[in-house]
Structure 1
Amino acid sequence: MGPAQVLPFFRRATPLVGAVALLGLLSGCGSGGDATGAVSTPAGTSSRTTGPATGDTGSPSTGPGTASPGAPDTASPATQSGGPGTRCHTSELRASIGRPSPGAGQRNFPIVLTNTGGHTCTVHGYPGAAFVDASGEQLGPDPKRSPDTPSTVTLTPGGSAWAGLTFASPEISGARTAVPAALLVTPPDERDPLKVAWTNGEVPVAGNESSVFVTIVQPGTGG
């Protein structure tokens, strides 16, 4: 099964998963760990909300340990700065991985972002994501973006949003794999990522059918 077949299934599966998944993991307890805080960004974790819908995850990679700034969408309320209702910053969010939603020949995970601050804020677009090993080196290429239309999600204190992370099952696709130590999640339009322990086994990093896809943020937890 190629990547193009994986995404439609994930979208069809989301209503069945409950409230909502990947990014919703942050609000409750998922199968992954909670964020441990902001860390330096490895190559490929930019979360720019503008640009092509697929194959573009933000600014060019600048090497492990170097922040890749996201380009704010100035037309969206999510990019304003100041009081309540403005863009959520990394320091105001917690990230987690929700319960997997298996499909025919694919693996789907919700990445959940939860507002831990004291005021309402918004997220808009795609999060940045990068699998890393124990030393912080990125494993595999940047995820590709699903061809969706971003919308602004408002998070009240304690509220969550999620984005889908999906890829073809390596044992079926034949892709070369690695077992990450963590997933770095960069909130939309932010530079600093949140580190979430990865406990879901191998992921594709090279070879046939090795693409990983990420979807836009949606309300809820995806679970």
Structure 2
Amino acid sequence: MTSNGTSSWRSTTSLTGRVAAGFAAAALIGACQSTASDPLGQSVTSSPPPALSQTPSIAATSHSTPTPADGRCETADLRVDIGDNGNQDMRGAHVPLRFTNTGPATCTLHGAPGVSYVTTESGGQVGEPATRNTHGPEVALAPGETASAGLFLSSAPLKTPGCERLEVPGLRVYPPGNTEATFVERTATTCEPPLVGPFVRVGPVEPGPDNTRS
């Protein structure tokens, strides 16, 4: 073969080699691109697992659970008065202080009310507030039901030397657990300061309208 023929053959062989190398490089790039789009790579952006996707529905279920309807009896939902029945002895009067549920739902009372003599319905307190026996059951009151606390009104002001007697029209009563008071009519005699008592004692609220034990 001539030198020109040999040179031509070498050029052709070199070109063929370069073309083959180009195809190999293209195939390698294609393989790399295929690997980059592998499903394992997509798992990073896939949807959360079922347990996480159900979290909102679990939360909704917990919020939809009804809360108990019963709660503490509020002053606004109570009629408070003093029962006619009771008894009188040498120490004073023992009467029931009654609480009737006038609200639309069952509510509860627990403990003893706060009680004190007052000069008028909206007037100032006279003397010390009642001593309280707070140990009692929690009492549930359905609408219209009545519970009561034993109330003792001492007759000591009528017999105490040096007592400057004062007649009061009633008592200020705070139902157990409340900071809002109501006025209860009950004419009574107490002492002007400095004789401040206490001349009143009250027991815990108990079931029934006729409790007089304080």
**Alignment equivalent of 2:202, drawn from 211, 214, 221:** 214
1:177 aligns with 2:165: yes
Q: Which residue does 1:123 correspond to in 2?
A: 109
1:157 aligns with 2:157: no
Query: Could you say which structure has the higher helix fraction?
Result: 2
Q: Which residue does 1:46 correspond to in 2?
A: none
Structure 1 residue matching 2:204: 3-state secondary structure: coil
Amino acid at match of 1:95: V
Amino acid at match of 1:117: G
1:148-198 alpha-carbon deviations (Å, 9 max, x no partner)? 622101101111111122133132344543222231111111110111222
Amino acid at match of 1:93: L
Higher relative CO (Cα under 8 Å, sequence separation at least 6) belongs to 1
Q: Which residue does 1:93 correspond to in 2?
A: 78
Contact 1:120 1:157 in 2 (8 A): yes
| The 10-residue stretch of structure 1 (152-161 or 103-112) with the greater mean CA deviation from structure 2 | 103-112
Contact 1:176 1:210 in 2 (8 A): no
Relative to structure 1, is the Cα distance of residues 214 and 86 closer, same or farther in structure 2, using a 3 angstrom cutoff? same
1:92-111 mapped onto 2 (5 Å cutoff): 92-99=77-84, 100-111=86-97
User: d(CA) in 2 for partners of 1:88 and 1:217?
Assistant: 12
User: d(CA) in 1 for partners of 2:95 and 2:192?
Assistant: 17
Unpaired runs of 5+ residues, structure 2, are 1-66
Alpha-carbon offset, residue 124 of structure 1: 0.1
**Alignment equivalent of 2:189, drawn from 196, 202, 220:** 202
Larger Rg: 2
Relative to structure 1, is the Cα distance of residues 205 and 115 closer, same or farther in structure 2, using a 3 angstrom cutoff? farther
Consecutive aligned runs of 4 or more in structure 1 exceeding 4 Å deviation: 173-176
Contact 2:128 2:197 in 1 (8 A): no
1:12-51 alpha-carbon deviations (Å, 9 max, x no partner)? xxxxxxxxxxxxxxxxxxxxxxxxxxxxxxxxxxxxxxxx
Count of residues in Structure 1 that have an aligned counterpart in Structure 2: 140
Alpha-carbon offset, residue 209 of structure 1: 6.3
Q: Which residue does 2:60 correspond to in 1?
A: none
Contact 1:105 1:172 in 2 (8 A): no
1:145 aligns with 2:139: no
TM-score of the pair, normalised by structure 2 = 0.58
Question: For the aligned residues, what is the CA RMSD?
Answer: 2.3
TM-score of the pair, normalised by structure 1 = 0.56
Amino acid at match of 1:155: L
Query: Could you say which structure has the higher strand fraction?
Result: 2
User: d(CA) in 2 for partners of 1:107 and 1:176?
Assistant: 20
Unpaired runs of 5+ residues, structure 1, are 1-81
User: d(CA) in 2 for partners of 1:209 and 1:192?
Assistant: 24
Structure 2 residue matching 1:84: 3-state secondary structure: coil
User: d(CA) in 1 for partners of 2:191 and 2:93?
Assistant: 11
Amino acid at match of 1:144: T
User: d(CA) in 1 for partners of 2:196 and 2:181?
Assistant: 28
Amino acid at match of 1:221: P
User: d(CA) in 2 for partners of 1:190 and 1:208?
Assistant: 24
Q: Which residue does 1:75 correspond to in 2?
A: none
